[in-house]
A and B are shown apart, each in its own frame.
Chain A
Amino acid sequence: MAFTRREFLRGIGLAAGGVAIPSVAYDRLIPYLNQPEDIVPGVSTWFATSCRECPAGCGMVVRNRESRVVKCEGNPLHPFSRGKLCPRGQAAPQGLYDPDRIRQPLRRSELGKLEPVSWDSALSELGDMLARKPRVAVMTDLQTGTLDALMRAWLAALGSDRLITYEPISYEHVKDTNGGLIPTYEIAKSDFLISFACDFLETWVSPIEYAIEFAKMREIRDGKRAGFVYVGPRVSMTAANADVRLMVSPDVIEQIATAFLEGTLERDARKYGIDPDSAKAATDGFAAAKRPLALPGLAANTCCGTAIFNARRDTGLVNRSRRHALSYVSSAADVDSFTRDTESGVIGALVIHNANPVYAMPQSERFTEALKRVPVVISLSSHLDETTAMAGWVLPSNTPLESWGDYAPYPDVVNLMQPAMGTLFDTRQAGDTLLALARAAGVNTKQSFKADTFVEYLRTRWSLAGEPWQELLQRGGKFAGAPAGLTATPITGYNTLGDPPVDRRAASLPGSTADPHFHTAAPSIYSLRLWAFPDSYLYDGRGANKWWLQETPEPVVKGVWGSWAEIHPSTAAKLGVSTNDCVKIENGGASVSVPVYVWNGVKPGTIAIPMGEGHTDYGQFARGVGVNIWPLLTEDVPLVNVTPGGGTQWVARIRGSTDQSHRAIVQTASLGENWSREKPIIMPLPSGYGKRDFYPGNKYKKHRWAMVVDLDRCIGCHACVTACYAENNLGMVGAEGVFRRREMSWIRIDRYVFDSAGHGYDIPERRGDAGSSLGRLLFQPMLCQQCDAAPCEPVCPVFAASHSEEGLNMQVYNRCVGTRYCSNNCPYKVRRFNWWDYKWPEPLNWQLNPDVTVRCRGVMEKCTFCVQRIRQAEITALREQREVMDGEITPACVQTCPTGVFTFGDLMDKNSRVSSIIETDPRAYQVLAELNTKPAVIYLKKVI
C-alpha cells in the first residue's frame, strides 16, 4: 500500500493514544495554564479507533484539535478499510455532538417523565434491586470481544445467562444458507459476479471492504474485466454499477438462479419479465466465466438462490473460515423466544445497550407490549431512542468516540477502540456502568472480573494474550490473525422454553409468481410486494439522528430528509397516482402513508421504500421525518395493501434532469476497443492557450493544482460528499432548502442515464423520469473545476473571485458582496450561496473544522481543493526545507474515496501522477471543454 507522508504523520500522531485527555466541558477556547505535552494548539492529534456506526467495523482515525474531535477518517493501517470511510463513518462525530444526547442519568418519575438523577443514587438504588436477584437479561447491539465477554461475566455474576445480541438486520438467511455463519465472499478473485439483490456497495455486511474489493475486481486487465450482473426488483446504487441489470419481481429471484445454472434464462426471459437482450448478455457473461460468484441479499429466496448457485459452481471464493462478526447476532428464533419470555414476565430486569428494538423490529408493537411487562428496564444508550424512551432508568453511555473497547469484525481483524476526546457530558463507559452496578449489587468486581474499571478489564484481557498494548493502540488494533481469547465466541442462543426455532424461510417463500396486481383485496386496493431496503446512510435507522446523513442524497433517487415509495410508471398508472401523491400502505395491522416517486428504476408490481426514517423520538433531526416501515415487515418481502389517496406530499429529493440530452457530459469508452482521445486536453497552463485565446494566459510560480476523476471507478457512494461536509463546515439546509435548490454541497454526484432518448427539455420533476425501463446509470462527481480561464472570475465586481498563483479559483468570503453573478456564469454550477446564516445547534458547532472559516449570509462559497490542507502540506515542506511531495496533499474527498476515483496533484511537476495520467491515459477528457474554460479537473471516461 502506498504510504503517503500524511499517513505517516498520522502514525506519529497516534502515539498520543492511551494518554488521558482533559475533558472539554467548557464552551470557549482558553490557553492552557499548564499544557498537556501531547496537545499543541493548532496542531491536530490523531487517535486510532474503530468505527461503530454499523457492524462492519472499519478502522478509523479521529482528528482531535484542542481536545475536540473534529473529523473522522479511515485508518490506513487497517487491513480491509485501508484508510477509507463511508458517509456513515464520516458522520460519527455527529453522534458524539448530537444536540439531543442524553447528558446525565435519568429515572422515570411517578408521573412517568424521565427526570435527571445522580449516578450515585441511581447506582445504589439499582444495586439494591439487583441484589434481590431478579432474572436479569441484557439486550445489546452487536458487541464482540471485551464488552461481550464482560456482559456475559456480568450476567453470570448475577446468576443469569440471557444475553441477546439484537441487530435489526440480522442476515438471518445468509447464515441459514451458510451453516449458521456469514462467510467472506472473495469477490476480487472472481471474474463474474452476480448479485441477487445484494447491495454490497451501500449497506450489506461490510460496504467499504466490498467496495474496495469490487474496485479491484473491476480493474481492466488486458482489455478484459470481470462482469457484474445484478438481479433484483430495484435499481439500487449497487445495481446501477452492474453491466447487466435483470429487473425481476422479488418472487422469482430463486428461479433466476436455477435458470442461470440450467441455461434456460434466455429462453424463459419473458416468463420472468426481463428483456431477452439483457438476459442473453447475462447468460453469455456467465458462460464465459471461470470463477463466477453469487452474493446473497437479505431476502430468503435471494439467499437460497445464491446458495444453490455457489454450491453448483463452487469456486472456493466463499471463505467460510473468515466469518463476519454479524454471524454472532442472535437468531430471529432467539429473539422470538426472548420476547415470549418477556411477555410471560420471566424477566425481572432488562439492561438495553444501544439496541433499539422498539423502533427497528418487525411487528415491534409485540415487543413493545412485552417490554412494559419488565419491572426494571435500564437503558445504557447515549441517545434517547424509542426504546430508551420506554426505559425506567437511563444510565447514558459514552459514544464510541469517547469509549475504550475492542471490536472484531473478523477473526483476523480485531480493532482496538480508545477515546478520541474526553467525555462530553456526564456519561460513562457502558462497561464501567455494568461493573458499578455489579459492585452496587454486592459483587466483588476485583474478584470476579479481575478489574474495577472497564479499561482495566480490557487491558487485562489483552495483556493476558500477551499483546504489546501501546503498539496495538497506535495501530488501531491487532490485524494479522488474532490470538485465542480475543476472537468473539459464537452466541449459542438459549431456549429455556425449548421451542424449535421457527423456520422463517418457509414463511417468506413467495406464493405465486403472477403479477400481484390481479389479486386485489378490494376495489382500488392493490397488493404489491413491499421491497424494504436499508437506507444507504440511515441503515436500519440508527443514522437518522445525524443531519449529514439526512442531507446526503440517496445515490439513485437523490432522496433526502424523508421517506418515499418508488413505483413503476405502469404500477402508478394502475393506482392512478403520480410523483408526490401519497399512498396508504397496510400490512400486519400496521399502516403508513407515504408519497410515491414514480420512475422506471423499480419492477412493476413492487413498491420500494427505504428503511430508517419515521422515528417518534431519537432527537430533533430524526423525529417526525418520513415513515417507519419496520412494523410492516411481517416477512422479508411482504405482500402489502396499497391504497391511493391521502393527499400529496413533496418527495424531498435533489431534482435536476438525469438526461444528458446529447451533451456528452459523462463520456464513455466501450470495453475491448482500443481507445484514443478525440479531443486534445486543453491544459490549464500557459501551454493551453493558443489561437483561440485573446490573452496569453497565467504564469504559475511553483504549483498548479489539478485533479483527475476516474468515472469508471465511481460507484456513487457519496463518501466524498459527506467528507466535504465534515472538512469544510458546510451548512445543512434541510428539506425546505433542498426543495428550493439551495443545498450547500461543494461536491455532488450527478447521475445520468446512459442510453437516454435525448428529450432534454424537461426537468424530471415534471416528467417523473417515466419510460419503460431505466438505462444504465452513470455517476459523475462534480466539483469546482478550478478553470484556468474561469468564467466566474472576471464578472465579480470586487475581485472576490480571483485566481491564485497556484491555479485555484479563490473565493474571498469577506470581500464578497453577493451579486451571485459568478454562480450564474459558472457552467458547472458548483458555486454555493449562503441564503441564510446557517446555524449549528450546540454542541454540533464544536465539530466545526477550526482551519476553515464559517461563512456568513449573503456570500458565495465553493470548493477550494481543501486549500487548508494544501497550505498545511506546503508549510510542513517549507519547515523541512524540501519540495511538497506528490500525493502528500489529499483533499477530503480524495482521502475518503473507497474506490480511488480521485487523483490530486501538481501539473507543474511533470512526474506527478496527475501529469502522467493526463499525458498518457486515452480516456482523459474535460467536461464542456468546448467552452474553453480550461478546467483543471480532468475526467477519465466511463468504461461500458
Chain B
Amino acid sequence: MANVELKRIDEEVLQSLGRPSPRYAAVMALCALLMAAGLTAYMFQYYLGMGVTGLSVPVGWATYITNFVWWIGIAHAGTLISAILFLFRAKWRNRINRAAEAMTIFAIMTAGLFPLVHLGRVWVFFWILPYPNWRHTWPNFKSPLVWDVIAVTTYLTVSTLFFYLGLLPDIAAARDRTEPGVRKRLYTFAALGWTGKYDEWRHYARTYLALAALVTPLVISVHSVVSWDFAMALVKGWHTTIFAPYFVAGAIHSGLATVIILLIPLRKALRLERVFTLYYFEQMALLMILTGSIIAYSYGVEAFMSWYSADVFERQFSAFRAFHSPYTPWFWFMVVGNCVVPLTFFWKNARTNWAWLLIASIIVDAAMWFERLVIIAGSLIHDYLPSEWGWYVPRLPEVLMTCFALGFFTFAFLTFVKLFPSAALSEMKHDALEREEERI
C-alpha cells in the first residue's frame, strides 16, 4: 500500500540525519585542517603582497583563476540536473537533484572566493560592485570582470532560492519527524510553516516551474560570461568565439563527474544505497559521454581554426601548446582525460562498475582542472612579443589555497547532508505514487 511505501522513504532518508560516525568526524577534521593551512598561506599573501605567488609579468593569472573557473564549472551540473532535466521531465533526476543542488551552491561559494584571493588589493574589492558613493565612481560595465561579478552573484542568488524552494516540503517532513529540540526548532523556522495544504502546493508548483525556467538560461549564460573573461581578451589561446559553448560543456562535464565522486561515498556513509541506486549513476555517465564529445569537438575546432586562419601567431601558438610548451604533458593529459576516458562509458560494464565510475570521474575532474590551467597560464606564457615569453610554476600559497577550496567545499557539503535530507523526499514520494498508478 502507498503509505507503507511513503513511510519507508521517510525513514530511509531521514535516518541519514542521525548521529554522525567517527569517520565522518575525521573527514570534517581533515577539512578543517586544510582550511587552516589555506588561511595561513593567505595571511602571508595579504600582508606581503602577491609576490608570494608564482605569478609574473607575462602570467598575471594562473592557479587562482583556474580554481575560480573550475569550481564555477562544478556548480553547473547541479543546476543542469535540477532545472534543465526537470524541464525535460527526466525522472531519474529526482533523487540526486537535492545533493546536486547543494553541491552547486557550495561550489559557487568556493569559486567566489578566488576572484578575491587573486586581487592585488583585496581590501578595496568592493570598488568592483556598483553602489552609489560620494566619489561618483562606478565600475566599468564594459569589463568582463564586472560581467562576472553580476553573473556569479545572480547565479548564487537564484540557485539558492531554487534550492530552498525545493527543500521546503522536505524540511516540513523532517520537522514533523524529529523530537523537540534544537533541530526541531531549526526545522520549524526553516519550514516557514509549511502545512502541505494543496493551495500551497499549487503556488509552490508554479514558482518552482518559473524558477526552473529562469535558471536554465542562467546556467548557460554564467559559464559563457566566465569564458568571455578570456575570449574577450586578445591573448592567443583565449581569443576564440567557440569558448562559450566549449566552457559550458566542460563545466557540466566536470560537474557530473563531481556529483558521482560525491554520491558514491555518500550512499555508503549515509546508508542510502537503496536511494542512490546504480541506475542514476549510469544516467550521469551517459550524459558525460555527450559533454565529453562536445569538448572533443571544441578541441578539434580550435586546432583546425588556428591552422585555417593561416595567422602566424595562431599557428605558432597551437604548435607551441601541443608540442613545445612546458605544459605539453598536461595538455595531452587533458585531451585524454576529458575526451577519451568518458568514452569508456559506452560499455555497460564500465559504467556499472563502481570503482571505474569513481576513478574515471576523478580523472575527468583533474583533466578539467588542468584544461583551465593550460588555457589560462599556458596561453599567457607565449603571447605576442617573444622577448616577454615566460613560464609559470605555482608556489606554496597557491597550492594551499587550492587545498583550502577542497576543504571548504567538502566541509560545507558534509554539514549539509547531516542537517537536511540529502534526497528529495517529496519528489521520491511523487515517483512512488506514480509508479503505483502505473501498476494499477
- The answer to whether A and B touch in the complex, with CB atoms under 8 Å apart, is yes
| B-binding residues in A (CB < 8 A) | 655-663, 665, 740-743, 748, 750-752, 760-763, 765, 782, 791, 794-799, 815-821, 823-825, 827-829, 831-837, 856-860, 928, 931
Contacts of A751 in B (CB 8 A): 387
Contacts of B56 in A (CB 8 A): 740-742
Contacts of A829 in B (CB 8 A): 57-58, 383-385, 388
Contact of B120 among A657, A791, A858 (CB under 8 A): A858
Q: How far is the CB of A802 from chain B (nearest CB, A)?
A: 8
B143 within 8 A of A: yes
Contact of A837 with B125 in the complex, beta carbons under 8 Å: no
Contact with A along B134-163 (1 / 0, CB 8 A): 000111101111100100000000000000
Given A657-B389, A836-B49, the answer on whether A760 and B316 have CB atoms closer than 8 Å is yes
Can you list 6 residue pairs at the A/B interface with Cβ under 8 Å? A815-B127, A818-B119, A827-B383, A828-B384, A837-B49, A857-B121
Contact of A823 with B60 in the complex, beta carbons under 8 Å: yes
Among A741, A782, A815, A823, find the residue whose CB has the most chain B CB atoms closer than 10 A: A741
Among residues of A, the one whose C-beta sits closest to the C-beta of B390 is: A741
A661-B316, A931-B234 are known; give 13 further A-B pairs, CB within 8 A: A656-B390, A660-B386, A663-B313, A752-B387, A760-B316, A761-B320, A794-B142, A795-B232, A797-B127, A798-B139, A819-B145, A857-B51, A928-B384
A819–B58 Cα gap in the complex (Å)?
14
Contact of A655 with B390 in the complex, beta carbons under 8 Å: yes
Contact of A797 among B58, B118, B128 (CB under 8 A): B128
Among residues of B, the one whose C-beta sits closest to the C-beta of A733 is: B51
B201 within 8 A of A: no
Contacts of A823 in B (CB 8 A): 57, 60
Q: How far is the CB of A766 from chain B (nearest CB, A)?
A: 8
Q: How far is the CB of B382 from chain A (nearest CB, A)?
A: 8
Q: How far is the CB of A819 from chain B (nearest CB, A)?
A: 6
A149–B433 Cα gap in the complex (Å)?
114
Contact of A817 with B128 in the complex, beta carbons under 8 Å: yes
Contacts of A834 in B (CB 8 A): 49, 120
B50 within 8 A of A: yes
A791–B323 Cα gap in the complex (Å)?
29
Q: How far is the CB of A138 from chain B (nearest CB, A)?
A: 48
Q: How far is the CB of A201 from chain B (nearest CB, A)?
A: 21
Contact of A821 with B383 in the complex, beta carbons under 8 Å: no
Contact of A818 among B50, B234, B385 (CB under 8 A): B50
Among residues of B, the one whose C-beta sits closest to the C-beta of A656 is: B387
Contacts of A797 in B (CB 8 A): 127-128, 139-140, 143, 145-146, 149
Contacts of A928 in B (CB 8 A): 384-385
Contacts of A860 in B (CB 8 A): 120
B2 within 8 A of A: no
Given A663-B384, A782-B385, A835-B49, the answer on whether A817 and B120 have CB atoms closer than 8 Å is yes
A748–B125 Cα gap in the complex (Å)?
32
Contacts of A835 in B (CB 8 A): 49-51, 55
Q: How far is the CB of A830 from chain B (nearest CB, A)?
A: 9
Among B61, B120, B149, B383, find the residue whose CB has the most chain A CB atoms closer than 10 A: B120
Contact of A762 with B324 in the complex, beta carbons under 8 Å: yes
B380 within 8 A of A: yes
Q: Compute the total of residue contacts between A and B using a CB distance below 8 Å.
A: 174
Contacts of B382 in A (CB 8 A): 761
Contacts of A931 in B (CB 8 A): 234, 384
Contacts of A821 in B (CB 8 A): 60-61, 143, 145, 229, 233
B48 within 8 A of A: yes
Contact of B324 with A761 in the complex, beta carbons under 8 Å: yes
Contact of B143 with A663 in the complex, beta carbons under 8 Å: no
Contacts of A815 in B (CB 8 A): 127, 137
Contact of A833 with B60 in the complex, beta carbons under 8 Å: yes
**In B384-413, which residues have CB < 8 Å from any A CB?**
384-391
Contact of B384 with A817 in the complex, beta carbons under 8 Å: no
A824–B55 Cα gap in the complex (Å)?
11
Q: How far is the CB of A84 from chain B (nearest CB, A)?
A: 25
A860–B124 Cα gap in the complex (Å)?
14
Q: How far is the CB of B131 from chain A (nearest CB, A)?
A: 12
Interface residues on B, range: 35 or more
Contacts of A748 in B (CB 8 A): 387
Contact of B320 with A799 in the complex, beta carbons under 8 Å: no
B312 within 8 A of A: yes
Contacts of B128 in A (CB 8 A): 797-798, 817
Contact of B57 with A782 in the complex, beta carbons under 8 Å: no
Given A761-B320, A818-B120, the answer on whether A827 and B140 have CB atoms closer than 8 Å is no
Contact of B124 with A817 in the complex, beta carbons under 8 Å: yes
A748–B387 Cα gap in the complex (Å)?
10
Contacts of B149 in A (CB 8 A): 797
Contact of A859 with B121 in the complex, beta carbons under 8 Å: yes
A741–B393 Cα gap in the complex (Å)?
12
B113 within 8 A of A: no
B319 within 8 A of A: yes
Contacts of B384 in A (CB 8 A): 663, 827-829, 928, 931
**In B299-316, which residues have CB < 8 Å from any A CB?**
312-313, 316
Contact of A795 with B51 in the complex, beta carbons under 8 Å: no
B235 within 8 A of A: yes
**In B337-365, which residues have CB < 8 Å from any A CB?**
none
Given A751-B387, A797-B140, the answer on whether A824 and B50 have CB atoms closer than 8 Å is no
Among residues of B, the one whose C-beta sits closest to the C-beta of A659 is: B386
A491–B297 Cα gap in the complex (Å)?
83
Among residues of A, the one whose C-beta sits closest to the C-beta of B311 is: A930
Q: How far is the CB of A452 from chain B (nearest CB, A)?
A: 54
Given A827-B234, A858-B49, the answer on whether A798 and B140 have CB atoms closer than 8 Å is yes
Among A659, A782, A799, find the residue whose CB has the most chain B CB atoms closer than 10 A: A799
A743–B312 Cα gap in the complex (Å)?
29
Contact of B386 with A658 in the complex, beta carbons under 8 Å: yes
Contact of B51 with A817 in the complex, beta carbons under 8 Å: no
A761–B316 Cα gap in the complex (Å)?
7
Contact of B143 with A794 in the complex, beta carbons under 8 Å: yes
Among A657, A819, A857, find the residue whose CB has the most chain B CB atoms closer than 10 A: A819
Contacts of A836 in B (CB 8 A): 48-49, 51
Contact with A along B25-62 (1 / 0, CB 8 A): 00000000000000000000000111100111110110
Contact of B50 with A816 in the complex, beta carbons under 8 Å: no
Contacts of A752 in B (CB 8 A): 386-387
Given A656-B388, A761-B316, A761-B319, the answer on whether A742 and B121 have CB atoms closer than 8 Å is no
Contact of A825 with B49 in the complex, beta carbons under 8 Å: no
A829–B56 Cα gap in the complex (Å)?
11
Given A752-B386, A762-B324, A791-B233, the answer on whether A857 and B143 have CB atoms closer than 8 Å is no
A760–B57 Cα gap in the complex (Å)?
20
Contact of B233 with A795 in the complex, beta carbons under 8 Å: yes
Given A791-B234, A835-B50, the answer on whether A819 and B387 have CB atoms closer than 8 Å is no
Contacts of B140 in A (CB 8 A): 794, 796-799
A796–B119 Cα gap in the complex (Å)?
12
Contact of B385 among A763, A796, A827 (CB under 8 A): A827
A307–B18 Cα gap in the complex (Å)?
99
Among B127, B143, B144, find the residue whose CB has the most chain A CB atoms closer than 10 A: B143
Given A762-B324, A796-B143, the answer on whether A818 and B121 have CB atoms closer than 8 Å is yes
Contact of B323 with A761 in the complex, beta carbons under 8 Å: yes
Contact of B386 among A661, A742, A818, A833 (CB under 8 A): A661
A857–B313 Cα gap in the complex (Å)?
33
Contact of B312 with A663 in the complex, beta carbons under 8 Å: yes
Contact of A657 with B48 in the complex, beta carbons under 8 Å: no
Contacts of B139 in A (CB 8 A): 797-799
Contacts of B118 in A (CB 8 A): 819-820
A860–B323 Cα gap in the complex (Å)?
33
Q: How far is the CB of B306 from chain A (nearest CB, A)?
A: 14
Contact of B125 among A663, A760, A796, A817 (CB under 8 A): A817
A657–B383 Cα gap in the complex (Å)?
11
A825–B124 Cα gap in the complex (Å)?
22
A834–B140 Cα gap in the complex (Å)?
23
A819–B118 Cα gap in the complex (Å)?
7
A907–B411 Cα gap in the complex (Å)?
61
